Amino acid sequence: MSEKPSGSMPFRRLDARMLLVHPVQEAVRFLPALVALFVTGRSSDRSPLWDLGALVVVIVLGMSRWFTTRYRISGGQIELRSGLFTRKVLATPADRVRTVDVTAPIWHRLVGLARVEIGTGSSRAMDDRIVLDALAAPVAQALRAELLHRAATLTPPTPASGSGAVIGEDGQPSLPSPAQGAIPVDLPPPTVEQDLMTLNPRWIAYAPLTTSGLLTALAVWGFVSQYLVDLIPTIESAVGQVQAWGVWISLAVGVLMALAAIAGMAITAYVLQFWGFRLSRHSGGTLHVTRGLLTTHATSLEEARIRGLEIGEPLGLRWAKAGRLHAIGTGLRSGDGADRGRAWLVPPAPRDVVEGVARLVLGRVEPLDTTLEQHGPAARRRRYVRAVVPAALLAGLATWGWVRGDLPGLVTLTAYLPLVVSPLLARDRYAALGHALTAEYVVARSGSIERRRDVVARAGVVGVVTRATFFQRRAGVATVVVATAAGRQGYRILDVPAERSEELVVELVPQARAFCDSVS
The pair phi, psi for residue 16, each rounded to 5°, is -65, -20
* pLDDT tens string 146-160: 776 665 554 444 434
pLDDT at 497: 94
pLDDT at 62: 79
Q: Does position 331 have pLDDT exceeding 50, yes or no?
A: yes
| Strand order through the sheet with 450-457 | 344-350, 322-329, 306-314, 450-457, 441-446, 434-437
pLDDT at 329: 85
* pLDDT tens string 71-106: 888 877 888 988 877 788 888 887 778 788 899 988
Q: Does position 162 have pLDDT exceeding 50, yes or no?
A: no
Are the C-beta atoms of 30 and 80 separated by less than 8 Å? no
In the 8-state DSSP scheme, what is residue 331? T
Read off the pLDDT band of 208 (50, 70, 90). Answer: confident
* pLDDT tens string 270-300: 999 999 999 999 877 889 999 999 989 998 8
Q: Does position 9 have pLDDT exceeding 80, yes or no?
A: no
Calpha distance 4→103 (Å, rounded): 28
Alpha carbon of residue 286 to chain centroid:
19
Who wins on pLDDT, 232 or 375? Answer: 375
Global confidence as pTM: 0.78
Q: Please state which of the ranges 22-31, 34-43, 80-89, 296-305 shows the lowest mean pLDDT.
A: 34-43
Calpha distance 225→218 (Å, rounded): 10
* pLDDT tens string 384-416: 999 999 999 999 999 998 888 777 887 888 889
Read off the pLDDT band of 430 (50, 70, 90). Answer: very high
Q: Does position 236 have pLDDT exceeding 90, yes or no?
A: no
The closest alpha carbon to 435, from 495, 499, 380, belongs to 495
Where b means 16+ CB within 10 Å and e means fewer, 158-169 reads bebbbbbbbbee
From the CB of residue 322, how many other CB atoms can be counted at a distance below 10 Å?
A: 24
